[in-house]
Amino acid sequence: MEYNFGEIEKKWQNYWKQNETYKTDIDKNKPKYYVLDMFPYPSGAGLHVGHPLGYIASDIFSRYKRLKGFNVLHPMGYDAYGLPAEQYAIQTGQHPAVTTKINIARYREQLEKIGFCYDWDREIRTCEPDYYHWTQWAFIQMFNHYFDIKLQKALPVSSLVKAFETTGTEGIQAYCTEEFSFTAEEWNSKTEKDQQETLLNYRIAYLADLKVNWCPALGTVLANDEVSEGLSVRGGHPVEQRVMRQWSLRVSAYAQRLLDGLDKIDWTESLKETQKNWIGRSEGAEMKFKVKGQGEVLEVFTTRADTIYGVTFMVLAPESELVKVCTTTEQAANVETYLAATKKRTERERIADRRVTGVFSGSYAINPVSGTEIPVYISDYVLAGYGTGAIMAVPAHDSRDYAFAKYFNLPIIPLIEGCDVSEESFDAKEGIMINSGFLNGMTVKEAITAAKKYVAEQGIGRVKVNFRLRDAIFSRQRYWGEPFPVYYKEGMPYMLDEIKLPLELPEVDKFLPTEKGEPPLGRAKGWEVDGFPLELNTMPGFAGSSAYYLRYMDPKNDKALVSPEANQYWRNVDLYIGGTEHATGHLIYSRFWNKFLFDLGVVCEEEPFKKLINQGMIQGRSNFVYRIKDTNTFVSLNLKDKYETTQLHVDVNIVSNDILDIEKFKNWLPDYASAEFILEDGKYHCGWAVEKMSKSMYNVVNPDDIVEKYGADTLRLYEMFLGPLEQSKPWDTNGIDGVHRFLKKLWGLFFKDGNLLLTDEQPNADELKTLHKTIKKITFDIENFSYNTSVSAFMICVNELFTLKCSKKAILEPLTILLAPFAPHIAEELYHVLGNEGTVCDAQFPICNEAYLVESSVKYPISFNGKVRFMLELPADMSKEEVERTALANEQTIKQLDGNSPKKIIVVPGKIVNIVL
Residues between 347 and 406 with contacts to RNA, criterion CB under 7 A: 350-351, 354, 380-383, 385-387, 389, 391-392, 398, 400
CA dihedral (258, 259, 260, 264) in degrees, to 10, reads 80
Q: What share of the chain is helix, strand, coil (3-state, %, to 5)?
A: 40, 20, 40
Minimum CB–partner distance for residue 550 and RNA (Å) = 26
Query: What number of CA atoms fall less than 13 Å from residue 239's CA on the CB side?
Result: 24
613: left (phi over 0), alpha (psi -120 to 50) or beta: beta
Residue closer to RNA by CB (options 264, 904) is 904
Residue closer to RNA by CB (options 393, 521) is 393
Residue closer to RNA by CB (options 185, 753) is 753
> Using CB under 7 A, which residues numbered 779 to 838 contact RNA?
786, 788-789, 791-792, 795-796, 799
Binding-residue pattern over the window 467 to 496 for RNA, x denoting contact by CB under 7 A: -x----------------------------
Selected from 255, 739, 758, 840, the binder of RNA by CB under 7 A is 739
> Using CB under 7 A, which residues numbered 833 to 862 contact RNA?
859, 861
Residue closer to RNA by CB (options 575, 797) is 797
Minimum CB–partner distance for residue 733 and RNA (Å) = 9
**At 578, phi and psi to the nearest 5?**
-175, 180
Residue 724's SS3 state is: coil
Strands 220-222 and 912-916: unpaired
Return the beta strands (E) in 38-80 as ranges.
71-73
> Using CB under 7 A, which residues numbered 235 to 294 contact RNA?
269-270, 273-274, 277-278, 280, 282, 284
Minimum CB–partner distance for residue 29 and RNA (Å) = 37
d(CA 246, CA 259): 26
d(CA 650, CA 732): 15
Residue closer to RNA by CB (options 205, 587) is 587
Residue closer to RNA by CB (options 266, 273) is 273
Q: Which residues pair with 825 in a beta bridge?
A: none
Strands 659-660 and 655-656: antiparallel
226 is an interface residue for RNA by CB under 7 A = no
d(CA 73, CA 34): 5
d(CA 873, CA 869): 14
* Residues 742, 717 contacting (CB under 8 angstroms): yes
> Using CB under 7 A, which residues numbered 641 to 670 contact RNA?
657
Minimum CB–partner distance for residue 664 and RNA (Å) = 17
466 is an interface residue for RNA by CB under 7 A = yes
Minimum CB–partner distance for residue 121 and RNA (Å) = 36
Residue closer to RNA by CB (options 155, 617) is 617
Residue closer to RNA by CB (options 86, 398) is 398
Residue closer to RNA by CB (options 101, 773) is 773
d(CA 780, CA 875): 28
Cα separations in angstroms, 820 against 740, 843, 845: 16, 10, 9
530: left (phi over 0), alpha (psi -120 to 50) or beta: left
Residue closer to RNA by CB (options 400, 523) is 400
Minimum CB–partner distance for residue 893 and RNA (Å) = 13
Residue closer to RNA by CB (options 273, 877) is 273
Minimum CB–partner distance for residue 382 and RNA (Å) = 4
* Burial classification of residue 96, based on how many CB atoms lie within 10 Å of its CB (0-12 exposed, 13-18 middle, 19 or more buried): buried
Q: Provide the H-helix boundaries in 93-219.
A: 96-113, 129-143, 157-167, 184-189, 192-200
Residue closer to RNA by CB (options 36, 382) is 382
Selected from 443, 863, 886, 890, the binder of RNA by CB under 7 A is 863
Minimum CB–partner distance for residue 579 and RNA (Å) = 10
> Using CB under 7 A, which residues numbered 57 to 76 contact RNA?
none
Minimum CB–partner distance for residue 450 and RNA (Å) = 16
Minimum CB–partner distance for residue 611 and RNA (Å) = 17
Strands 857-864 and 532-533: unpaired
Compute how many residues bind RNA; rule: CB under 7 A.
82
> Using CB under 7 A, which residues numbered 610 to 629 contact RNA?
none
Residue closer to RNA by CB (options 162, 462) is 462
911 is an interface residue for RNA by CB under 7 A = yes
Which residues, in sequence order, are CB contacts of 496 under 8 Å at separation 6+?
136, 140, 485, 486, 487, 503, 529
* Residues 90, 61 contacting (CB under 8 angstroms): no
* Residues 252, 471 contacting (CB under 8 angstroms): yes
224 is an interface residue for RNA by CB under 7 A = yes
Selected from 724, 809, 874, 886, the binder of RNA by CB under 7 A is 724
The one-character DSSP state at 759 is B
581 is an interface residue for RNA by CB under 7 A = yes
> Using CB under 7 A, which residues numbered 121 to 150 contact RNA?
none
Q: What is the DSSP string of 397-459?
A: G-HHHHHHHHHHT------BTT---SSS----S-SBB-S-GGGTTSBHHHHHHHHHHHHHHTT
Selected from 106, 242, 429, 745, the binder of RNA by CB under 7 A is 745
95 is an interface residue for RNA by CB under 7 A = no
Minimum CB–partner distance for residue 702 and RNA (Å) = 20
The residue type found at 386 is Y
Selected from 869, 884, 897, 902, the binder of RNA by CB under 7 A is 869
Residue closer to RNA by CB (options 119, 398) is 398
Selected from 1, 243, 428, 908, the binder of RNA by CB under 7 A is 908
Strands 532-533 and 528-529: antiparallel
Binding-residue pattern over the window 306 to 345 for RNA, x denoting contact by CB under 7 A: -----------x----------------------------
Binding-residue pattern over the window 537 to 576 for RNA, x denoting contact by CB under 7 A: ----------------------------------------
* Residues 703, 715 contacting (CB under 8 angstroms): yes
Residue closer to RNA by CB (options 142, 739) is 739
* Residues 177, 211 contacting (CB under 8 angstroms): no
Q: Provide the H-helix boundaries in 303-413.
A: 322-326, 332-344, 347-352, 399-408
Selected from 302, 636, 699, 816, the binder of RNA by CB under 7 A is 302
Stretch of 14-22, 84-92, 844-852, 901-909 contacting RNA, by CB under 7 A: 901-909
425 is an interface residue for RNA by CB under 7 A = no
Selected from 732, 767, 813, 828, the binder of RNA by CB under 7 A is 732
* Burial classification of residue 628, based on how many CB atoms lie within 10 Å of its CB (0-12 exposed, 13-18 middle, 19 or more buried): middle
Residue closer to RNA by CB (options 434, 659) is 659
88 is an interface residue for RNA by CB under 7 A = no
Residue closer to RNA by CB (options 288, 741) is 741
Q: What is the DSSP string of 650-713?
A: E-GGGEETTEE-HHHHHHHSGGGTT-EEE-BTTB-BPEEEEE---GGGT----HHHHHHHH-HH
Residue closer to RNA by CB (options 700, 801) is 801
523 is an interface residue for RNA by CB under 7 A = no
Helix axes 712-721, 703-710, angle to 10 degrees: 120
d(CA 104, CA 184): 55
Minimum CB–partner distance for residue 640 and RNA (Å) = 17
Cα separations in angstroms, 231 against 45, 320, 427, 655, 712: 23, 25, 31, 36, 39
Selected from 252, 580, 623, 816, the binder of RNA by CB under 7 A is 580
d(CA 110, CA 703): 8
